[in-house]
């Protein structure tokens, strides 16, 4: 006889008795009929709560048509398995969504530059555990300052939002707005502290060096001087010393005094004059000397463009 689960043994013996294969009942047969054995755990039906299902699929709602039909001594329209299966959700894996991920995604959408904060990437010999949750007095809503008073991180914002939603019995959006307002207040206070600490240090004589903006201007000025000296070495006569060429180039770079807005016209005119001056110098280098007509044209171009030279570079290249 094949192996059976405990609840099927008595059923099998009943069929064998009815068919005449067994002449008399086993001694345990009556006992198993009165007290059937329990199902093994893998075969037991697990009753799960249906609070997370839609209201139309919850057990107490699904019983209402049957109760109403039984009260009217009729038949419920949901007795058919086909109609019952049509109301059940599709048997596919549902997406796993964590509330912390939703808050983190919204935080970085509102504050994209917070992702640029420097992080320690060096591995340490201890386990990085989360900070202990602060003790919140009874009847008081959590505040972000309970997690960090100086510089709260995104994880502090997430924990405070979740705790505020739980303690205050409010929606996640309302708890997030309340936490973000506290976050902005703490960051503004920290920015003021840093700003006035720098002012106090400079008042006492501290030399903090140039700022990032000043460093950018210094590098730009150095590159312009390098480009001007290189241009002078390429286009000025070889008899002229390098120091004199550099001095003449620097002296010739006088900016335009007229501050009226020209919408870029003055800059384009200056660029055109520079290109023409370079063409004259290169042609003179190739032929060895200017012709009378070319000299006259060059003088006319220099006189006409001297007043419109925006950066003074054209004059330095033609000198």
pTM: 0.43
- Which long-range contacts link 139-146 to residues 24+ away (Cβ below 8 Å)? 141/167, 141/168, 141/178, 142/167, 143/182, 144/179, 144/182, 144/183, 144/186, 145/182, 145/186
CA-to-CA distance for 89 and 85, rounded, in angstroms?
A: 8
The per-residue pLDDT for 128 is 55
Question: Which tokens sit at 289?
Answer: 């000397």
CA-to-CA distance for 178 and 165, rounded, in angstroms?
A: 10
The per-residue pLDDT for 302 is 47
CB atoms within 10 A of CB 235: 20
pLDDT digits (tens, 9 = 90+) for 251-294: 555 555 666 777 677 777 777 776 665 444 444 444 444 444 44
Q: Which residues of the chain have pLDDT under 70?
A: 1-2, 4, 75-89, 120-131, 233-259, 263, 274-319
The per-residue pLDDT for 8 is 83
The per-residue pLDDT for 173 is 92
Distances (CA, A) of 312 to 29, 55, 147, 165, 308: 115, 80, 59, 65, 9
DSSP symbol at 28: T
Contact status, residue 267 vs residue 312, Cβ threshold 8 Å: no
Contact status, residue 316 vs residue 232, Cβ threshold 8 Å: yes
């Amino acid at each position: 006889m094949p192996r059976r689960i405990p609840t099927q043994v008595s059923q099998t013996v009943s069929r064998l008795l009815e068919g005449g294969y067994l002449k008399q009942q086993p001694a345990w047969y009556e006992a198993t009929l009165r007290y059937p054995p329990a199902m093994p755990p893998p075969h037991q039906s697990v009753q799960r709560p249906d609070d997370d299902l839609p209201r139309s699929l919850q057990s107490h709602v699904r019983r209402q048509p049957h109760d109403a039909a039984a009260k009217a001594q009729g038949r419920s329209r949901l007795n058919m398995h086909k109609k019952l299966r049509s109301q059940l959700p599709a048997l596919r894996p549902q997406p796993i969504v964590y509330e912390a991920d939703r808050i983190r995604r919204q935080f970085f959408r509102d504050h994209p530059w917070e992702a640029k904060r420097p992080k320690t990437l060096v591995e340490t010999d201890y386990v990085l555990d989360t900070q202990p949750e602060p003790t919140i007095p009874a009847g008081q809503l959590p505040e972000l300052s309970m997690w960090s008073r100086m510089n709260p991180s995104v994880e502090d914002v997430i924990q405070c939002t979740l705790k505020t939603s739980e303690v205050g019995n409010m929606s996640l959006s309302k708890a997030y707005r309340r936490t973000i307002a506290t976050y902005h207040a703490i960051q503004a206070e920290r920015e003021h502290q840093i700003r006035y600490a720098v002012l106090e240090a400079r008042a006492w004589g501290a030399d903090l060096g140039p700022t990032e903006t000043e460093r950018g201007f210094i590098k730009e000025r150095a590159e312009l001087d390098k480009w001007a000296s290189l241009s002078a070495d390429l286009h000025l006569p070889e008899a002229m010393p390098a120091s004199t060429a550099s001095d003449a180039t620097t002296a010739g770079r006088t900016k335009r005094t007229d501050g009226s807005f020209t919408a870029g016209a003055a800059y384009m005119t200056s660029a055109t004059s520079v290109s023409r001056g370079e063409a004259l110098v290169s042609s003179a280098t190739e032929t060895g000397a200017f012709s009378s007509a070319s000299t006259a044209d060059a003088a006319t171009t220099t006189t006409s463009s001297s007043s419109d030279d925006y950066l003074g570079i054209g004059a330095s290249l033609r000198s």
